[in-house]
Amino acid sequence: MKGIFTALINSFDEKGNINEQGLREIVRYNIDVSQVDGLYVNGSTGENFMLSAEEKKKVFKIVKDEAGDEVDLIAQVGALNIFEAKDLAAYVTDLGYDALSAVTPFYYKFDFEEIKDYYNSILEDVDNQMLIYSIPALTGVNMDLKQFGELFENEKITGVKFTAPDFFLLERLRHAYPEKLIFSGFDEMLLPASVYGIDGAIGSTFNVNGKRAKGILKAVHEGDLGEARKLQKESNDLITAILDNGLYQTIKELLKVKGVDAGYCRKPMKKPGDEQIESAKEIGRTLLD
């Protein structure tokens, strides 16, 4: 399980309901056009933390039904409600997802023993592998090399989605645990992360920039750093424009430029205004691959 995985956008209608047809179109675009290696479902990019447990199950089922076994599928099941996380883990395992992922528990100041128990509890009743989802900027949870090592003692924990700019820790993890999967989570840092021998990357902008991301990995693996720098610069131009215009709304508008019914974001995220939509169209004309 390696390569470029799209942190999948979810499609909602104007009332905030899951738009099944739109979600299927997003899946197909990522597989057929971007030709990504896998999909990371119900992560931050999928507006997961604004969904009910039943809505999450609906998304997991639609994506699996549409993607089948064409690409690897990772289900983000993390939740503050441990019973929900365990239920979702069992549900997606039965659906045939290739791996689980779970964000570190957030909001409350959990100590490390509580965090470790959280992961072990999710995994105790399921036969599946787990990628820790480490994103300190949003969770406030920073773990060091020793703590990652303690988590990795659970044989079902096979790796980490590493969404942090700490490249010293990234290198130490790669050196200490060469058998574990490490996926980079910052799209704008894919090139430097790749140099450290990551197994792949999981990113939101891969919904519209998957081909370049795959190109960066390929160029690094082939030792062509000039090509890798060129593709990262092009990607970062696109990422800058997307961030300046509103991350999730702009990705959805860019997919619409490609003929995909990406729908809207769910409240409290706002709908894009006319100026934002026009800016997205201009981004699509000038910066998409």
238-271 per-position pLDDT tens digit: 999 999 999 999 999 999 999 999 999 999 999 9
Task: Give the C-alpha separation, 166 to 261, whole Å.
Answer: 36
Residue 186 CA to residue 184 CA, distance in Å, equals 6
In order of their start, the domains of the chain are 3-223 (3.20.20.70)
> Is 182 annotated as belonging to a binding site?
no
> 63-89 pLDDT, tens per residue?
999 999 999 999 999 999 999 999 999
Measure the CA–CA gap between 250 and 270, rounded to whole angstroms.
Answer: 12
In single-letter form, the type of residue at position 197 comes to G
Which residue among 133, 180, 214, 248 is the active-site one?
133
Please say if 161 is a catalytic residue.
yes
CA-based end-to-end distance of the chain:
25
What is the reported pTM? 0.97
Phi, psi of 47 (to 5 degrees): 60, 35
Cα separation of 43 and 170, whole Å? Answer: 21
In this predicted structure, what is the pLDDT of residue 71?
A: 98
259: number of Cβ within 10 Å: 9
Print burial letters for 157-166: b (CB count within 10 Å at least 16), e (below 16).
bbbbbbbbee
- Cβ neighbors of 211 (< 8 A, separation 6 or more) are 34, 35, 289
Please identify which of the residues 161, 180, 214, 252 carries the catalytic annotation.
161
Is 211 a catalytic site residue? no
d(CA 186, CA 146): 23
So what's the pLDDT on residue 289? 73
Residue ranges of the chain with pLDDT lower than 70?
none
Tell me whether residue 277 is annotated as binding.
Answer: no
Amino acid 138: pLDDT: 85
Bridge-based pairing of strands 200-203 and 38-41 is: unpaired
Is 155 known to sit in a ligand binding site? no
Q: Is 9 annotated as a binding residue?
A: no
pLDDT of residue 140: 86
Q: Which conformational region is residue 56 in: left (phi greater than 0), alpha (psi within -120 to 50 degrees), or beta?
A: alpha
